[in-house]
Amino acid sequence: MWPSVAYETCAWERDYDELAFIPKSRRRKILPTYEAALPAKIAQLTVNLSPEIQRRIADVEVAVTRFDEAQNARDWNLPALLLRSESSSSSQIERLTSSVRNVALAELSDKAPTNALLIAGNVAAMREALRQSGPVSIDSICSIHDVLMAETSEWEGLRDEQVWIGGTPYSPHEASFVPPHASRVPDYINDLIEFGVREDVPPVAKEAIFHAQFETIHPFTDGNGRTGRALVHRMLANDEVLMHSTLPVSAGLLHDVERYMKALDAYHVGKIEPIIACFADALELAVVIGLRIADDVDDVLSAWRASNTDRAGSASHGLPELLVEQPVVDAAYVANRLAITDRAARTLIETACERGILSKMGNAKRGAYYQADELIGILEEASRLQGIRRIAAR
Protein backbone atom coordinates (compact mmCIF):
# COMPACT_ATOMS: atom_id res chain seq x y z
CA MET A 1 0.00 0.00 0.00
CA TRP A 2 1.10 3.55 -0.75
CA PRO A 3 1.03 5.78 2.36
CA SER A 4 -2.18 7.71 2.85
CA VAL A 5 -2.07 11.46 3.29
CA ALA A 6 -1.81 12.43 6.95
CA TYR A 7 -2.81 15.79 8.38
CA GLU A 8 -1.35 18.36 10.75
CA THR A 9 -3.03 21.09 12.76
CA CYS A 10 -2.09 24.61 11.67
CA ALA A 11 -3.03 28.01 13.04
CA TRP A 12 -5.53 30.03 11.02
CA GLU A 13 -4.91 33.75 11.33
CA ARG A 14 -8.31 35.38 11.39
CA ASP A 15 -8.64 38.96 10.17
CA TYR A 16 -11.34 40.42 12.39
CA ASP A 17 -11.90 43.35 10.05
CA GLU A 18 -12.70 40.94 7.23
CA LEU A 19 -14.84 38.75 9.51
CA ALA A 20 -17.23 41.67 9.92
CA PHE A 21 -18.21 41.33 6.25
CA ILE A 22 -18.80 37.57 6.41
CA PRO A 23 -22.28 36.20 7.19
CA LYS A 24 -22.64 35.04 10.79
CA SER A 25 -23.50 31.50 9.68
CA ARG A 26 -20.11 31.29 7.93
CA ARG A 27 -18.21 33.21 10.62
CA ARG A 28 -19.01 30.58 13.26
CA LYS A 29 -17.28 27.92 11.15
CA ILE A 30 -13.99 29.85 10.87
CA LEU A 31 -11.91 28.37 13.68
CA PRO A 32 -8.47 29.25 15.12
CA THR A 33 -6.94 26.11 13.61
CA TYR A 34 -7.37 23.90 10.53
CA GLU A 35 -6.03 20.59 9.22
CA ALA A 36 -3.54 20.73 6.32
CA ALA A 37 -2.41 17.71 4.32
CA LEU A 38 0.86 16.04 5.22
CA PRO A 39 1.57 13.62 2.34
CA ALA A 40 4.41 11.12 2.54
CA LYS A 41 7.77 11.86 0.92
CA ILE A 42 7.94 9.58 -2.13
CA ALA A 43 11.50 9.87 -3.48
CA GLN A 44 12.58 6.56 -1.94
CA LEU A 45 9.25 4.74 -1.67
CA THR A 46 8.95 1.30 -3.26
CA VAL A 47 6.45 1.25 -6.12
CA ASN A 48 4.64 -2.09 -6.11
CA LEU A 49 2.40 -2.72 -9.13
CA SER A 50 0.14 -5.65 -9.90
CA PRO A 51 1.09 -7.84 -12.88
CA GLU A 52 -2.05 -6.64 -14.65
CA ILE A 53 -1.18 -2.94 -14.42
CA GLN A 54 2.43 -3.68 -15.39
CA ARG A 55 1.25 -5.38 -18.59
CA ARG A 56 -1.18 -2.54 -19.26
CA ILE A 57 1.40 0.23 -19.03
CA ALA A 58 3.96 -1.80 -21.02
CA ASP A 59 1.46 -2.11 -23.89
CA VAL A 60 0.67 1.61 -23.74
CA GLU A 61 4.33 2.62 -23.73
CA VAL A 62 4.91 0.53 -26.86
CA ALA A 63 1.91 2.15 -28.59
CA VAL A 64 3.06 5.65 -27.66
CA THR A 65 6.64 5.01 -28.77
CA ARG A 66 5.47 3.63 -32.13
CA PHE A 67 3.23 6.65 -32.64
CA ASP A 68 6.11 8.97 -31.84
CA GLU A 69 8.45 7.29 -34.31
CA ALA A 70 5.84 7.21 -37.08
CA GLN A 71 4.90 10.89 -36.74
CA ASN A 72 8.53 11.98 -36.77
CA ALA A 73 8.67 11.08 -40.47
CA ARG A 74 5.99 13.65 -41.44
CA ASP A 75 6.93 16.75 -43.43
CA TRP A 76 4.57 19.00 -41.46
CA ASN A 77 4.39 19.93 -37.78
CA LEU A 78 1.95 17.49 -36.19
CA PRO A 79 3.20 18.29 -32.66
CA ALA A 80 2.04 21.89 -33.07
CA LEU A 81 -1.51 20.72 -33.76
CA LEU A 82 -1.53 18.12 -30.99
CA LEU A 83 -0.18 20.71 -28.56
CA ARG A 84 -3.21 22.88 -29.32
CA SER A 85 -5.57 19.96 -28.71
CA GLU A 86 -3.77 19.17 -25.45
CA SER A 87 -3.89 22.77 -24.22
CA SER A 88 -7.57 23.18 -25.05
CA SER A 89 -8.52 19.92 -23.31
CA SER A 90 -6.38 20.69 -20.25
CA SER A 91 -8.13 24.04 -19.90
CA GLN A 92 -11.55 22.43 -20.28
CA ILE A 93 -10.79 20.15 -17.33
CA GLU A 94 -10.60 23.41 -15.34
CA ARG A 95 -13.89 24.54 -16.98
CA LEU A 96 -12.09 27.11 -19.09
CA THR A 97 -13.35 27.06 -22.67
CA SER A 98 -12.93 28.98 -25.92
CA SER A 99 -12.99 28.16 -29.62
CA VAL A 100 -9.83 26.95 -31.36
CA ARG A 101 -10.11 29.96 -33.66
CA ASN A 102 -10.14 32.47 -30.80
CA VAL A 103 -7.23 30.77 -29.04
CA ALA A 104 -5.17 30.92 -32.24
CA LEU A 105 -6.18 34.57 -32.62
CA ALA A 106 -5.10 35.25 -29.03
CA GLU A 107 -1.56 34.24 -29.96
CA LEU A 108 -1.46 37.15 -32.42
CA SER A 109 -3.70 39.76 -30.81
CA ASP A 110 -4.53 40.89 -27.27
CA LYS A 111 -8.03 41.80 -28.53
CA ALA A 112 -9.15 38.16 -28.36
CA PRO A 113 -11.71 37.12 -25.70
CA THR A 114 -10.38 36.76 -22.14
CA ASN A 115 -10.79 32.96 -21.99
CA ALA A 116 -8.95 32.63 -25.30
CA LEU A 117 -6.04 34.65 -23.93
CA LEU A 118 -5.88 32.40 -20.86
CA ILE A 119 -5.93 29.22 -22.96
CA ALA A 120 -3.29 30.70 -25.25
CA GLY A 121 -1.24 30.92 -22.07
CA ASN A 122 -1.70 27.17 -21.73
CA VAL A 123 -0.39 26.69 -25.28
CA ALA A 124 2.63 28.83 -24.40
CA ALA A 125 3.17 26.87 -21.16
CA MET A 126 3.12 23.61 -23.10
CA ARG A 127 5.70 25.01 -25.50
CA GLU A 128 7.84 26.07 -22.56
CA ALA A 129 7.60 22.58 -21.03
CA LEU A 130 8.62 20.94 -24.31
CA ARG A 131 11.37 23.50 -24.88
CA GLN A 132 13.06 22.64 -21.60
CA SER A 133 15.66 19.91 -21.36
CA GLY A 134 17.66 18.28 -18.62
CA PRO A 135 16.48 17.51 -15.08
CA VAL A 136 13.28 19.06 -13.79
CA SER A 137 13.94 21.72 -11.13
CA ILE A 138 11.93 24.13 -9.03
CA ASP A 139 13.00 26.91 -11.39
CA SER A 140 11.88 24.98 -14.50
CA ILE A 141 8.52 24.15 -12.91
CA CYS A 142 8.01 27.79 -11.91
CA SER A 143 8.98 28.87 -15.42
CA ILE A 144 6.17 26.76 -16.91
CA HIS A 145 3.71 28.18 -14.39
CA ASP A 146 4.85 31.77 -14.96
CA VAL A 147 4.28 31.42 -18.72
CA LEU A 148 0.86 29.88 -18.10
CA MET A 149 -0.25 32.72 -15.84
CA ALA A 150 1.39 35.59 -17.76
CA GLU A 151 -1.99 37.13 -18.66
CA THR A 152 -3.06 37.23 -14.99
CA SER A 153 -1.89 38.97 -11.84
CA GLU A 154 -0.90 35.61 -10.37
CA TRP A 155 2.01 35.56 -7.94
CA GLU A 156 5.20 34.23 -9.52
CA GLY A 157 6.99 31.34 -7.84
CA LEU A 158 5.83 28.84 -5.25
CA ARG A 159 2.91 29.89 -3.09
CA ASP A 160 3.49 31.55 0.27
CA GLU A 161 -0.07 31.17 1.54
CA GLN A 162 -2.55 28.43 2.27
CA VAL A 163 -4.82 27.25 -0.54
CA TRP A 164 -7.72 24.82 -0.50
CA ILE A 165 -10.09 23.03 -2.83
CA GLY A 166 -13.84 23.42 -2.51
CA GLY A 167 -15.64 24.97 0.44
CA THR A 168 -15.87 28.74 0.75
CA PRO A 169 -13.47 31.57 -0.16
CA TYR A 170 -13.30 32.65 3.49
CA SER A 171 -11.27 29.86 5.08
CA PRO A 172 -10.21 26.22 4.56
CA HIS A 173 -12.56 24.86 7.22
CA GLU A 174 -15.21 23.51 4.85
CA ALA A 175 -12.86 22.55 2.01
CA SER A 176 -12.88 19.13 0.37
CA PHE A 177 -9.07 19.07 0.44
CA VAL A 178 -6.46 21.32 2.04
CA PRO A 179 -2.95 20.94 0.54
CA PRO A 180 0.19 21.22 2.68
CA HIS A 181 1.12 24.38 4.55
CA ALA A 182 3.08 26.78 2.32
CA SER A 183 6.22 26.40 4.45
CA ARG A 184 6.43 22.73 3.46
CA VAL A 185 6.02 23.21 -0.29
CA PRO A 186 9.71 23.65 -1.31
CA ASP A 187 10.75 20.51 0.57
CA TYR A 188 7.92 18.49 -0.99
CA ILE A 189 8.76 19.72 -4.49
CA ASN A 190 12.43 18.79 -4.04
CA ASP A 191 11.34 15.30 -2.94
CA LEU A 192 9.07 15.05 -6.00
CA ILE A 193 11.90 16.11 -8.31
CA GLU A 194 14.08 13.37 -6.80
CA PHE A 195 11.31 10.83 -7.47
CA GLY A 196 11.04 12.08 -11.05
CA VAL A 197 14.55 10.96 -12.00
CA ARG A 198 14.14 7.38 -10.81
CA GLU A 199 14.71 4.69 -13.42
CA ASP A 200 13.27 1.73 -11.49
CA VAL A 201 9.65 2.78 -12.13
CA PRO A 202 8.00 2.34 -15.56
CA PRO A 203 7.62 5.79 -17.19
CA VAL A 204 3.81 5.82 -17.44
CA ALA A 205 3.49 4.76 -13.79
CA LYS A 206 6.11 7.30 -12.71
CA GLU A 207 4.46 10.15 -14.60
CA ALA A 208 1.05 9.30 -13.13
CA ILE A 209 2.39 9.19 -9.56
CA PHE A 210 4.43 12.35 -10.15
CA HIS A 211 1.27 14.11 -11.34
CA ALA A 212 -0.85 12.93 -8.42
CA GLN A 213 1.79 13.99 -5.90
CA PHE A 214 2.18 17.36 -7.64
CA GLU A 215 -1.58 17.98 -7.42
CA THR A 216 -1.55 16.91 -3.78
CA ILE A 217 1.21 19.42 -2.99
CA HIS A 218 -0.59 22.14 -4.99
CA PRO A 219 2.50 24.36 -5.10
CA PHE A 220 0.84 27.41 -6.66
CA THR A 221 -2.13 29.54 -5.73
CA ASP A 222 -3.69 28.87 -9.14
CA GLY A 223 -2.93 26.96 -12.33
CA ASN A 224 -1.79 23.76 -10.58
CA GLY A 225 -3.78 21.37 -12.78
CA ARG A 226 -2.65 22.88 -16.07
CA THR A 227 0.96 23.16 -14.90
CA GLY A 228 0.88 19.57 -13.66
CA ARG A 229 -0.44 18.24 -16.94
CA ALA A 230 2.19 20.20 -18.89
CA LEU A 231 4.82 18.57 -16.69
CA VAL A 232 3.56 15.14 -17.76
CA HIS A 233 4.78 15.92 -21.28
CA ARG A 234 8.10 17.15 -19.96
CA MET A 235 8.50 13.87 -18.06
CA LEU A 236 7.51 11.71 -21.06
CA ALA A 237 10.16 13.49 -23.12
CA ASN A 238 12.78 13.09 -20.38
CA ASP A 239 12.05 9.37 -20.20
CA GLU A 240 12.29 9.13 -24.02
CA VAL A 241 8.74 7.87 -24.41
CA LEU A 242 7.76 10.89 -26.52
CA MET A 243 10.93 12.25 -28.08
CA HIS A 244 9.64 13.79 -31.32
CA SER A 245 5.94 14.48 -30.93
CA THR A 246 3.40 15.19 -28.23
CA LEU A 247 -0.01 13.73 -27.47
CA PRO A 248 -3.31 15.20 -26.28
CA VAL A 249 -3.19 13.32 -22.96
CA SER A 250 -5.61 15.80 -21.42
CA ALA A 251 -8.14 14.93 -24.14
CA GLY A 252 -7.98 11.37 -22.83
CA LEU A 253 -8.50 12.62 -19.27
CA LEU A 254 -11.33 14.94 -20.38
CA HIS A 255 -13.11 11.90 -21.82
CA ASP A 256 -13.87 10.85 -18.22
CA VAL A 257 -13.07 13.74 -15.88
CA GLU A 258 -14.99 12.19 -13.00
CA ARG A 259 -12.78 9.12 -13.10
CA TYR A 260 -9.66 11.31 -13.20
CA MET A 261 -10.78 13.29 -10.14
CA LYS A 262 -11.70 10.11 -8.25
CA ALA A 263 -8.28 8.65 -9.07
CA LEU A 264 -6.61 11.73 -7.57
CA ASP A 265 -8.78 11.32 -4.46
CA ALA A 266 -7.85 7.62 -4.29
CA TYR A 267 -4.18 8.61 -4.28
CA HIS A 268 -4.79 10.52 -1.05
CA VAL A 269 -5.86 7.30 0.68
CA GLY A 270 -2.91 5.25 -0.52
CA LYS A 271 -4.13 3.83 -3.84
CA ILE A 272 -1.78 4.48 -6.77
CA GLU A 273 -3.15 2.09 -9.39
CA PRO A 274 -6.34 4.09 -10.16
CA ILE A 275 -4.35 7.13 -11.32
CA ILE A 276 -1.86 4.93 -13.20
CA ALA A 277 -4.69 3.10 -15.00
CA CYS A 278 -6.37 6.45 -15.71
CA PHE A 279 -3.21 7.79 -17.35
CA ALA A 280 -2.64 4.58 -19.29
CA ASP A 281 -6.15 4.77 -20.75
CA ALA A 282 -5.76 8.50 -21.44
CA LEU A 283 -2.52 7.88 -23.34
CA GLU A 284 -4.11 5.08 -25.34
CA LEU A 285 -7.02 7.34 -26.35
CA ALA A 286 -4.56 10.16 -27.05
CA VAL A 287 -2.82 7.93 -29.59
CA VAL A 288 -6.16 7.26 -31.30
CA ILE A 289 -6.93 11.00 -31.37
CA GLY A 290 -3.44 11.81 -32.61
CA LEU A 291 -3.71 9.31 -35.46
CA ARG A 292 -7.14 10.67 -36.38
CA ILE A 293 -5.85 14.24 -36.48
CA ALA A 294 -2.80 13.19 -38.54
CA ASP A 295 -4.92 11.36 -41.12
CA ASP A 296 -7.43 14.19 -41.43
CA VAL A 297 -4.70 16.81 -41.82
CA ASP A 298 -2.96 14.64 -44.43
CA ASP A 299 -6.17 14.68 -46.47
CA VAL A 300 -6.53 18.47 -46.17
CA LEU A 301 -2.91 19.18 -47.09
CA SER A 302 -3.08 16.80 -50.05
CA ALA A 303 -6.13 18.64 -51.40
CA TRP A 304 -4.45 22.02 -50.89
CA ARG A 305 -1.30 20.91 -52.66
CA ALA A 306 -3.32 19.54 -55.56
CA SER A 307 -5.01 22.92 -56.01
CA ASN A 308 -1.70 24.78 -56.08
CA THR A 309 -0.51 25.30 -59.65
CA ASP A 310 2.09 27.92 -58.77
CA ARG A 311 5.67 27.43 -59.88
CA ALA A 312 7.99 25.37 -57.70
CA GLY A 313 9.67 27.49 -55.06
CA SER A 314 6.72 29.87 -54.74
CA ALA A 315 5.97 31.02 -51.18
CA SER A 316 2.47 29.57 -51.58
CA HIS A 317 3.92 26.07 -51.20
CA GLY A 318 5.08 26.93 -47.68
CA LEU A 319 1.74 28.34 -46.52
CA PRO A 320 -0.03 25.01 -45.71
CA GLU A 321 2.67 23.88 -43.29
CA LEU A 322 2.64 27.33 -41.69
CA LEU A 323 -1.12 27.09 -41.15
CA VAL A 324 -0.69 23.75 -39.40
CA GLU A 325 1.35 25.57 -36.77
CA GLN A 326 -0.81 28.71 -36.69
CA PRO A 327 -4.33 28.28 -38.19
CA VAL A 328 -5.16 31.99 -37.79
CA VAL A 329 -2.83 34.48 -39.48
CA ASP A 330 -2.52 38.03 -40.70
CA ALA A 331 -0.32 39.48 -43.43
CA ALA A 332 2.43 40.54 -41.02
CA TYR A 333 2.69 37.02 -39.55
CA VAL A 334 2.81 35.37 -43.00
CA ALA A 335 5.38 37.87 -44.26
CA ASN A 336 7.61 37.29 -41.25
CA ARG A 337 7.41 33.49 -41.25
CA LEU A 338 7.78 33.03 -45.02
CA ALA A 339 10.37 35.82 -45.37
CA ILE A 340 8.40 37.73 -47.99
CA THR A 341 7.21 41.35 -48.27
CA ASP A 342 3.94 42.52 -46.73
CA ARG A 343 2.56 43.10 -50.23
CA ALA A 344 3.49 39.56 -51.30
CA ALA A 345 1.92 38.20 -48.11
CA ARG A 346 -1.36 40.02 -48.78
CA THR A 347 -1.40 38.69 -52.35
CA LEU A 348 -0.68 35.18 -51.07
CA ILE A 349 -3.53 35.40 -48.55
CA GLU A 350 -5.95 36.64 -51.22
CA THR A 351 -5.04 33.70 -53.45
CA ALA A 352 -5.44 31.28 -50.51
CA CYS A 353 -8.93 32.71 -49.90
CA GLU A 354 -9.82 32.16 -53.56
CA ARG A 355 -8.64 28.55 -53.28
CA GLY A 356 -10.70 27.94 -50.13
CA ILE A 357 -7.66 27.52 -47.90
CA LEU A 358 -8.31 30.66 -45.85
CA SER A 359 -11.33 32.77 -45.06
CA LYS A 360 -11.49 36.23 -43.52
CA MET A 361 -12.53 36.47 -39.90
CA GLY A 362 -15.61 38.54 -39.24
CA ASN A 363 -14.62 41.07 -36.56
CA ALA A 364 -13.06 44.05 -38.36
CA LYS A 365 -12.19 45.72 -35.02
CA ARG A 366 -9.52 43.09 -34.44
CA GLY A 367 -7.81 43.79 -37.76
CA ALA A 368 -7.52 41.69 -40.90
CA TYR A 369 -7.13 38.11 -39.71
CA TYR A 370 -7.72 34.94 -41.70
CA GLN A 371 -8.50 31.40 -40.59
CA ALA A 372 -7.91 27.94 -42.04
CA ASP A 373 -11.44 26.59 -41.52
CA GLU A 374 -10.66 22.96 -42.31
CA LEU A 375 -7.76 22.75 -39.86
CA ILE A 376 -9.75 24.53 -37.17
CA GLY A 377 -12.63 22.09 -37.72
CA ILE A 378 -10.28 19.13 -37.20
CA LEU A 379 -8.96 20.63 -33.98
CA GLU A 380 -12.41 21.52 -32.65
CA GLU A 381 -13.53 17.91 -33.14
CA ALA A 382 -10.48 16.57 -31.32
CA SER A 383 -10.55 19.09 -28.46
CA ARG A 384 -14.20 19.12 -27.40
CA LEU A 385 -15.71 16.47 -25.14
CA GLN A 386 -18.40 15.49 -27.65
CA GLY A 387 -15.87 15.13 -30.46
CA ILE A 388 -13.48 13.15 -28.26
CA ARG A 389 -16.28 10.76 -27.37
CA ARG A 390 -17.17 10.34 -31.03
CA ILE A 391 -13.55 9.49 -31.85
CA ALA A 392 -13.32 7.10 -28.90
CA ALA A 393 -16.50 5.29 -29.96
CA ARG A 394 -15.18 4.46 -33.46
Binding site residue list for ATP: 222-229
Q: Cβ(327)–Cβ(106) under 8 Å?
A: no
Indicate which residue of 218, 233, 255, 268 is catalytic. Answer: 218
CA–CA dist 345, 353 (Å, integer): 12
CA–CA dist 390, 205 (Å, integer): 27
DSSP annotation string for 199-237: SSS-HHHHHHHHHHHHHHH--SSS-HHHHHHHHHHHHHH
Q: Cβ(375)–Cβ(327) under 8 Å?
A: yes
What's the half-sphere exposure (Cβ side, CA atoms, 13 Å) at 131?
Answer: 11
CA–CA dist 91, 97 (Å, integer): 7
Binding site residue list: 222-229
CA–CA dist 287, 281 (Å, integer): 10
E-strand ranges in 123-203 read: none
DSSP H or E stretch at residue 142? helix 138-148
∠ CA(337), CA(383), CA(306), 5° rounding? 50
**Catalytic annotation present for 218:** yes
**Burial classification of residue 89, based on how many CB atoms lie within 10 Å of its CB (0-12 exposed, 13-18 middle, 19 or more buried):** buried
Give the other-Cβ count within 10 Å of 8's Cβ: 13
Which residues are marked as active site? 218
